[in-house]
Amino acid sequence: MFSPQASSHQPAKPQSARERQLLWPGQLQRNWVKSHREGGGGPVNNAGVGLVGPLEGLSLATMQRVFDTNFFGAVRLVKAVLPGMKRRRQGHIVVVSSVMGLQDPFPLDPQNHHPDPKSRLPPSLSGVVFNDVYAASKFALEGFFESLAIQLLQFNIFISLVEPGPVGTAFEEKLLEQVSAAQFPGADPDTLHYFRDLYLPASRELFRSLGQSPQDVAQAIVKVISSARPPLRLQTNARYSALTALKAADPSGRLYVWSAHRLLFRWPGLLIRALRCLACGCFPSRVLPG
């Protein structure tokens, strides 16, 4: 759900014309690829859908549609443009991923890459939980393009994964309202309680406190495109900039699981109050790396 891309819940909405163009090659896609091959440059992949809710209440068909758009849609696009880029031995592929493809239990101080004791709360916590399938599709993107980046560097082709956190839009607020009233057949009462009474309030506060605007994310994409030495990853929100360092510091993953569980299920009031503190301006809430 942390994305400037389209989001949906069970049942998934029909794909837009733009998504169909990416998923099922047609004349429009062939024309675009032909133009790209002749004119050079590189693609920016921003097609995607979200999925939120208890896993038991989501159908496999819906999960597959999320992967078909978020992961295989990007794969199809890259396969279409890669031959021309390799022949020219230059290019830059920009992919809009998400911090949910990494997971971060703490907002970090971008200056020292250590947890900030003043804001010790998990900005991605209420986004990862109950977003299992969406997060998995972003993990797939991260692994695929990180692996591909090594090979393509030999052809002077760069890959950049732009990783937004929460992006505040009217659409996201409407989505939260819809899923709060949605029925999830197969989900047990306890799980529905956690989803509606813990996750949804925390998610609303998260978007209020840390949500960036689509313009912020667009500026980050422009920055990556114009970079002389494009990075493999760029988090658009500075609170996530040391995320990979934290994962390396705790390869077992126990710190993330333990702290995320405690904050959401044992101390939800603390989590909400901390997020509200961010929203009121006590700490910087809408930031972009300089």
- The residues that are catalytic are 134
CA 52 – CA 196 distance, rounded (Å): 12
CA 84 – CA 88 distance, rounded (Å): 6
244's enclosing H/E stretch is: helix 243-249
CA 196 – CA 179 distance, rounded (Å): 9
Are 21 and 113 in contact by the 8 Å Cβ rule? The answer is: no
CA 137 – CA 116 distance, rounded (Å): 29
What's the token pair of residue 288? 């972009």
Are 219 and 77 in contact by the 8 Å Cβ rule? The answer is: no
